[in-house]
């Protein structure tokens, strides 16, 4: 028997391309997050379930995780695998539901539970920037996908012969006075204007709009946006937890 002081703990497993982010929820409160390399997933999960008694678990794998590792996780967890057939707490109007990323499914679930009855735009600033919209009736309508910060820096370097590969930095002006500064202005200001412009587009049609920014670049981007937003780096994890709760209630 695994040791713990609480029988209501859930484990949320979000598998990315190279890293895994795991969250432990006690009832509806996130009490711990752990990040580790994907190859360490079995070892790290066993450490966590040695610390807590886990009632249920859900796994979201943006990148492929081997069937062998999934089977190992099933042996130690009451595990729900998120896919396009999983029951979710929103109405999905995406015309190609099989191609909708599991991270975007999680964000739509987060929107319709945390901001129920509101028009909500979720912006996930990670490897890609995704925009996902759930209307006040709880209907997911879709959104947009564009390159993220690092991808834009990398593409300028990879697809030209002389432009350097730079790390993210805040431009000091909207006019770059040398090549490096021009790249920072183009990448960072380009993304800021894209996000603000997209928010304004949604506002023009859905007046009363709630905007949530999440993802790895949340902190860097949030302070530069003109529009008012809620910043929550854990929106995907919280959305996954809502899906787990929703499926448990249906059992």
Using CB atoms within 10 A of its CB, is residue 145 exposed (0-12), middle (13-18) or buried (19+)?
A: middle
Cβ pair 57, 244 in contact under 8 A = yes
Give me 104's structure tokens.
């975007």
Q: To 10 degrees, the CA torsion angle through 237, 90, 57, 12?
A: 0
Catalytic-residue membership of 124: no
Residue from 10, 103, 124, 217 carrying the catalytic annotation: 103
Cβ pair 148, 128 in contact under 8 A = yes
Which residues are part of the catalytic machinery? Answer: 103
């Amino acid at each position: 028997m695994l040791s713990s002081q609480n029988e209501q703990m859930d484990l949320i497993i979000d598998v990315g391309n190279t890293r895994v982010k795991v969250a432990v929820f006690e009832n509806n409160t996130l009490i711990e997050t752990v990040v580790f390399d994907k190859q360490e997933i079995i070892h790290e999960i066993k450490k966590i379930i040695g610390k807590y008694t886990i009632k249920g678990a859900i796994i979201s794998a943006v990148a492929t995780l081997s069937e062998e590792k999934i089977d190992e996780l099933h042996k130690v967890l009451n595990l729900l695998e998120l896919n396009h057939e999983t029951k979710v707490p929103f109405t999905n109007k995406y015309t190609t539901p099989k191609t909708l990323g599991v991270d975007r499914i999680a964000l739509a679930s987060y929107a319709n539970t945390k901001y129920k009855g509101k028009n909500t735009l979720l912006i996930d600033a990670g490897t890609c920037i995704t925009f996902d919209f759930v209307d006040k009736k709880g209907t997911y309508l879709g959104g947009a996908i564009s390159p993220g910060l690092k991808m834009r820096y990398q593409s300028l370097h990879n697809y030209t012969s002389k432009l350097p590969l730079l790390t993210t930095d805040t431009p000091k002006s909207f006019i770059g006075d040398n090549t490096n500064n021009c790249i920072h202005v183009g990448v960072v200001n380009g993304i800021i204007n894209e996000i603000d412009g997209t928010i304004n587009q949604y506002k023009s049609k859905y007046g009363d709009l709630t905007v949530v920014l999440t993802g790895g670049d949340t902190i860097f981007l949030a302070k530069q946006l003109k529009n008012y937003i809620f910043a929550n780096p854990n929106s995907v994890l919280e959305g996954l937890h809502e899906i787990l709760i929703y499926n448990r209630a249906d059992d």
